[in-house]
Amino acid sequence: MEELENYKFGISTLRISQMLIRFLSSISIFAVTVFFTPNFNLSSFPILIISAVVIILLDYIMAIITGIHDMPLGRGLVGFTTAAIIIYATQFLVEGYYISILSSLIAAAIYGVIDSMLPNNVK
């Protein structure tokens, strides 16, 4: 019984560390994306952190509802489209975050290219 509890604790610790790594990598990717994307403005560093959290949460909710990340196409055109929609929709949830539709497409492309270079699984 104790082994089962240790196993459950290890799994939850792994998930927390994966989410923390995902959060930190998302903030850094997002900062680079903001720098290189025209018509994409953030008013301050705390807005960057808040918007990264909102984007992670929206992406997580989208993955739960649609199961996009479970499909082979999840990292292709469908993933790009949902990323552009999430990046654009975040401006309605975070004050001080401004982006145009064209810039959200560019930002989704930059975000996707940089994110694809990073490892996704933590072992």
Q: How confident is the model at residue 61, as a pLDDT? A: 83
pLDDT the model gives residue 56? 81
Q: What is the mean pLDDT of residues 49-53?
A: 87
Does pLDDT of 10 surpass 70? no
pLDDT, tens only, 90-119: 899 989 889 899 988 988 888 777 767 766
Q: Cα–Cα distance between 40 and 4 in angstroms, integer?
A: 48
Q: Answer whether residue 47 shows pLDDT above 50.
A: yes
With respect to residue 16, please indicate whether it lies within any of the assigned structural domains. yes
Q: Which structural domain, as residue segments, surrounds residue 28? A: 2-117
Residue 87's pLDDT band (cuts 50, 70, 90): confident
Instruction: Give residue 73's pLDDT.
Output: 45
Question: Would 105 be classed as within a structural domain?
Answer: yes
Note the pLDDT of residue 122. Answer: 45
Would 123 be classed as within a structural domain?
no
Contacts of 99 (CB under 8 A, 6+ apart): 37, 39, 40, 41, 87, 88, 90, 91, 107
pLDDT of 51 strictly over 90: no
Within a domain: 122: no
Q: Quote the number of domains for the chain.
A: 1
